[in-house]
Amino acid sequence: MSDGFDRAPEQTRPLRAPPSSQDKIPQQNSESAMAKPQVVVAPVLMSKLSVNAPEFYPSGYSSSYTESYEDGCEDYPTLSEYVQDFLNHLTEQPGSFETEIEQFAETLNGCVTTDDALQELVELIYQQATSIPNFSYMGARLCNYLSHHLTISPQSGNFRQLLLQRCRTEYEVKDQAAKGDEVTRKRFHAFVLFLGELYLNLEIKGTNGQVTRADILQVGLRELLNALFSNPMDDNLICAVKLLKLTGSVLEDAWKEKGKMDMEEIIQRIENVVLDANCSRDVKQMLLKLVELRSSNWGRVHATSTYREATPENDPNYFMNEPTFYTSDGVPFTAADPDYQEKYQELLEREDFFPDYEENGTDLSGAGDAYLDDIDDEMDPEIEEAYEKFCLESELFDLEGYLILP
């Protein structure tokens, strides 16, 4: 009779791990019990990876520039493609500016040899700086470097002169742009912030070697702020706040050196906008925060400022941590009160200032305390000897610890 399980052929029998030495399996007289256990061998997986596989780059990463920039613009069909590739590379990897800008400038000196090529270079950088978010700072740094290292200087102007001419073209339509549609205003705001970065980063070397900023940009930024505040729409005001946070401290210092009060006028205009303009509540808060920032010297801390000891006249928080006392009538007073000295003297003269009071019928002064009465005032002989020695040595020294010689 079948037991319900058919024995599998030898080659398809289930494999079992051999029992350990501690596990003793009773011997059975069946053929299956006499069979030796089989050892399972794990299959070896063959990798499909190859050492000759192309290098992996994340999606959206452009590696064409890094592979060919050292060869210069000769590998590119046009100069504009080479420059655009480098600009995209800086956008993705801004940290490579310091290590690759010198090679880029040297390549441009060999490729940019005509007026048209220089004009095209300026336009490409301008468009990248005003159309790509967060590239305005990098674009300004790039413009500053090229203005000092490009050797071509045609009759139409050198790199810096052509760049400022391009900015002037956009500057001349500022009033129309500030009133334009949303797309126009957005492009105008990008130009404003790029001009602010140029003002901070574009260095002009004088004949004596001193480095200054472009005064023409300082004047331009003042007029751009006027255009933004004259059209107090939310996005215009936000752009003005960003520009002042970026350049406010430098602009104010420059105006003060010339005896101008331009920043005072701007702050007054901001306060008028907060009171009169129909801007959103959030934008008004931004404007008020900007006024507060300016009142704190634009958040700057001068570590070399002369230290002045705090007094009630120059420190409004001088009495903040002073203790509070109470008169006999329970009226509180502090050191800030005009009649503090009189009240405090009266407090000291009160006979009950430190009264001896009883708690649970016990006088805390010590009088009549059995334990205190039993205290012996006499010192132990050994302690008394040590004390006399200490007093004798103390007489040989003055208050500052110096030995007094006879």
The token duo for 60 is 């959206």
pLDDT digits (tens, 9 = 90+) for 305-354: 455 666 666 665 555 556 776 777 767 767 766 677 777 777 777 655 45
pLDDT at 2: 45
pLDDT digits (tens, 9 = 90+) for 50-69: 777 766 555 544 444 445 55
Residue 359 lies in a domain: no
- pLDDT surpassing 50 at residue 24: no
Residue 251 lies in a domain: no
Span of 82-86, 156-160, 218-222, 393-397 with lowest mean pLDDT: 393-397
pLDDT digits (tens, 9 = 90+) for 109-146: 999 999 999 999 999 999 999 999 889 999 999 999 99
User: How confident is residue 32, by pLDDT bands cut at 50, 70 and 90?
Assistant: very low
Residue by residue, what is the 3-state secondary structure of the chain? CCCCCCCCCHHHCCCCCCCCCCCCCCCCCCHHHHCCCCCCCCCCCCCCCCCCCCCCCCCCCCCHHHHHHHHHHHHCCCHHHHHHHHHHHHHHCHHHHHHHHHHHHHHHHHHCCCHHHHHHHHHHHHHHHHHCCCCHHHHHHHHHHHHHHCCCCCCCCCHHHHHHHHHHHHHCCHHHHHHCCHHHHHHHHHHHHHHHHHHHHCCEECCCCCEECCHHHHHHHHHHHHHHHHCCCHHHHHHHHHHHHHHHHHHHHHHHHCCCCHHHHHHHHHHHHHHHCCCCHHHHHHHHHHHHHHHCHHHCCCCCCCCCCCCCCCCCCCCCCCCCEECCCCCEECCCCCCHHHHHHHHHHCCCCCCCCEECCEECCCCCCHHHHCCCCCCCHHHHHHHHHHHHHHCCECCCCCECCC
pLDDT digits (tens, 9 = 90+) for 172-221: 999 999 999 999 999 999 999 999 999 999 998 877 778 888 889 999 99
The total of structural domains in the chain comes to 1
Residue 46 lies in a domain: no
Residue 281 lies in a domain: no
pLDDT at 25: 45
Kindly report the CATH number assigned to the domain that includes residue 93.
1.25.40.180
Nearest to 126 by CA among 194, 200, 223: 194
- pLDDT surpassing 60 at residue 256: yes
User: How confident is residue 381, by pLDDT bands cut at 50, 70 and 90?
Assistant: confident
pLDDT at 303: 52
Residue 382 lies in a domain: no
- pLDDT surpassing 50 at residue 392: yes
The percentage of residues in the chain with a pLDDT greater than 90, rounded to a whole number, is 47
User: How confident is residue 277, by pLDDT bands cut at 50, 70 and 90?
Assistant: confident
Q: Which residue has the tokens 């004798």?
A: 392
Residue 51 lies in a domain: no
Which amino acid is located at 144 in the chain?
N
Residue 115 lies in a domain: yes
Residue 205: domain span: 77-239
Using CA atoms, how far apart are residues 25 and 275, in angstroms rounded to an integer? 95
Using CA atoms, how far apart are residues 79 and 120, in angstroms rounded to an integer? 9
Residue 343 lies in a domain: no
